[in-house]
Amino acid sequence: MSSFSHKPFCLVKSSINIDETFLVPHIVRPGETISSTGLVSRPGGKGANVSAAIALAGATVSFSGAVGKDAPWPLDELKSRHVVVDDAEILEDVPTGRAFIQIAEDGENSIVLLKGANFAKGKSTDPAQAWGDRTITHLVLQNEIPLETTIAFAQHAKSSKVGNHVTTIFNPSPMLSKEEVEKFPWSDIDVLVVNEGESLELLRVLQPSEASALEGLSEGDERSKKVLETLSGLEHFSSTAWIVLTRGGQGVMANVILSDSSDRTFFNVPPFKPKQVKDTTGAGDTFAGNLVAALMGHNVDGGEGLLESARPNSRKFVEEALKWASKAAALACEKEGAMQSIPSAEEVKPRSS
């Protein structure tokens, strides 16, 4: 990693939940009462998961979000994975966010979400207070908290109030509404991470005629590349250095603006195959977190971290970052659960490509 005047430090401004999973004979019907044959309570939320992934990859990361006093223990799960939780709030009168999940014997599932503390206002929702006098080099945003908070943090990161470059990473999941897509300040985002479905949802709003044509194509490498090219060509993303298209078991594609060019360079990284697939939950957050850690200079041999610009100096850096993140995501599929399945850098390193 190159030497800079400040060390890489990532802030994740996002969500934290408890996933309450009930095992039931069938999804409960209106007016019916049934007994659950099991209950598993696990930490969750995209923000918590990606924070854990960044920390387990060896990078310094602080999670900014909120839980309720009723159930603050998910923060202990983050601390055990070396995530800094000083920026997290424990609120008195608002419950911790939850996902109530029913899983039936036939595999059918039903989910009820409680926004809880994720949507409460507090000290952690003010970007100026969250920043303080620290040097934050990377900011990760998703879409499981109020969008106004996400936008405020993105805009603050790119404002004159911040005296250094901040690489902003956005995974718009769950996808924004049509109105939100149209109003979002995409020019404040350096790294956009989306899957193919999310990409098409963006195109339906921003380039509907192109979206219709793309949806008519057969799934595969050719369509994925065209989706990526169309998204990358939009004026909305002209200043977004990285457009990353995740493709699950088919690998990952990206269009990246390198520091020595105004044009995008295309990357197509084949999938890393897990030994066996037990559960894909959390693989996307594992990919995103490990990509962020790589952008901070960890687990890559490219000799650089994106601390002064979001535009990398070499193809090698991009290829190694995407390969590392893909391998980590594949390993996450070998275990059950979301946060529980995220591998450490020590687990990822020995696995051959």
Active site residues per annotation: 285
What are the binding residues for ATP? Answer: 195, 246-251, 284-285
CA angle 333, 336, 337 (to 5 degrees): 105
**Which is nearest to 44 in space by CA: 116, 108, 105?**
116
Q: What is the DSSP string of 59-91?
A: --EEEE-EEETT--THHHHHHHTT-B-TT-EEE
**Which is nearest to 252 in space by CA: 163, 327, 189, 152?**
327
Cα separation values, 340 from 74, 167, 262, 328, 352, Å: 12, 27, 41, 13, 22
CA distance 88 to 69: 12
DSSP strand pairing (97-104 vs 10-13): unpaired
Contact present, 331 and 285 (Cβ < 8 Å): no
DSSP strand pairing (66-68 vs 89-91): parallel
What are the binding residues? Answer: 17-19, 45-49, 144, 195, 246-251, 279, 281, 284-285, 332, 335, 337, 341
Strand residue runs (E) in the chain: 10-13, 17-24, 38-44, 61-64, 66-68, 89-91, 97-104, 109-114, 138-141, 167-170, 191-195, 242-246, 252-257, 264-269
Name the token pair of 138: 């990377």
CA angle 40, 59, 74 (to 5 degrees): 25
Cα separation values, 307 from 6, 89, 137, 177, 192, Å: 8, 28, 6, 32, 17
What are the binding residues for substrate? Answer: 17-19, 45-49, 144, 285
Q: 83 CB contacts (<8 Å, ≥6 apart)?
A: 51, 52, 54, 55, 61, 62, 63
CA distance 259 to 309: 8
